[in-house]
Amino acid sequence: MLTFVQNLGSNSNHHKKTFYNHTYMRFDQYSLIPQIKENLSKKGLKKPTDIQFKSIPHILKGEDVLAIAQTGTGKTAAFAIPVIHKIHLLKVKKRASGIRCLVMVPTRELCIQIAEVFNDLGKKTKVITRSIFGGVEQDEQINTLNKGVDIVIATPGRMFDLISQGHLDLKHIEVLVLDEADQMLDKGFYHDIKSLQQHIPKRRQTLFFSATIDEKIKKLAYSLVINPIRIQISPKNPVARNVDHSIVKVKMDDKRFFLERFIKENEDKKVLVFVRTKVRAERVMKAMSRVNIECLTLHGDKDQSERIQTLDKFKKGEINMLVATDVSARGIDIPNVEFVINYDIPEEADSYVHRVGRTGRGRSKGKAISFVSKDENELIFAIEEYTGDKIKEIKINLDDYQDTIDYSDDASQSWQSLIKEHDRVEGNLKKIHNKRRKQKENKKKK
CATH class of 16-233: alpha beta
| Residue count (the chain) | 446
Averaged pLDDT for residues 408-418: 56
- Report the alpha-carbon distance of residue 3 to residue 378 in Å, rounded: 26
Residue 342's SS3 state is strand
Query: Which CATH superfamily, name and number, covers 243-410?
Result: P-loop containing nucleotide triphosphate hydrolases (3.40.50.300)
- Summarised one tens digit per residue, pLDDT across range 51-99 is 999 999 999 999 999 998 876 778 999 999 999 999 999 988 877 678 9
Q: What is the mean pLDDT of residues 21-50?
A: 86
Q: Comparing 321-335, 388-402, 424-438, which segment has the lowest mean pLDDT?
A: 424-438
Confidence of residue 172 (pLDDT cuts 50, 70, 90): very high
pLDDT digits (tens, 9 = 90+) for 208-231: 998 777 788 888 888 888 889 999
Q: Kindly report the average pLDDT of the chain as a whole number.
A: 85
CB atoms within 10 A of CB 236: 8
The distance in angstroms from the start CA to the end CA of the chain is: 67
- pLDDT for 187: 76
> How confident is residue 132, by pLDDT bands cut at 50, 70 and 90?
very high
The most confident of 217-221, 233-237, 326-330, 370-374, by mean pLDDT: 370-374
pLDDT of residue 220: 85
pLDDT digits (tens, 9 = 90+) for 230-287: 998 866 667 878 899 999 999 999 999 999 999 999 999 999 999 999 999 999 999 9
Query: Are 16-233 and 243-410 in the same CATH fold?
Result: yes
Question: Is 15 a residue whose pLDDT tops 60?
Answer: no
Distance CA 175, CA 76 (A): 14
Give the dihedral sign, CA 368/372/389/395.
positive
- Model confidence at 444, pLDDT cuts 50, 70, 90, reads low
Domain boundaries, the chain: 16-233, 243-410
Output the pLDDT for position 10.
Answer: 37
Evaluate if residue 11 carries a pLDDT over 80. no
Residues 6+ apart with CB under 8 A from 188: none
State residue 407's pLDDT score: 83
> Residue range 159-168: average pLDDT?
94
pLDDT at 433 (0 to 100): 59
Average pLDDT over residues 418-435: 58
Q: Detail the DSSP E strand segments found in 179-295.
A: 205-210, 229-233, 243-249, 271-274
- Which of the pair, 282 or 21, is modelled with greater confidence? 282
| Residue percentage of the chain with pLDDT more than 90 | 56
Asked whether the beta carbons of 319 and 250 are under 8 A apart, the reply is: no
The pLDDT value recorded for residue 145 is 94
Query: Left, alpha or beta for 74 (phi > 0: left; psi -120 to 50: alpha)?
Result: left
Share of the chain above pLDDT 70, in %: 85
- Mean pLDDT of the region 112-139: 94
Check residue 428 and give its pLDDT: 61
423: confidence class by pLDDT, cuts 50, 70, 90: low
Top pLDDT among 399 and 422 is at 399
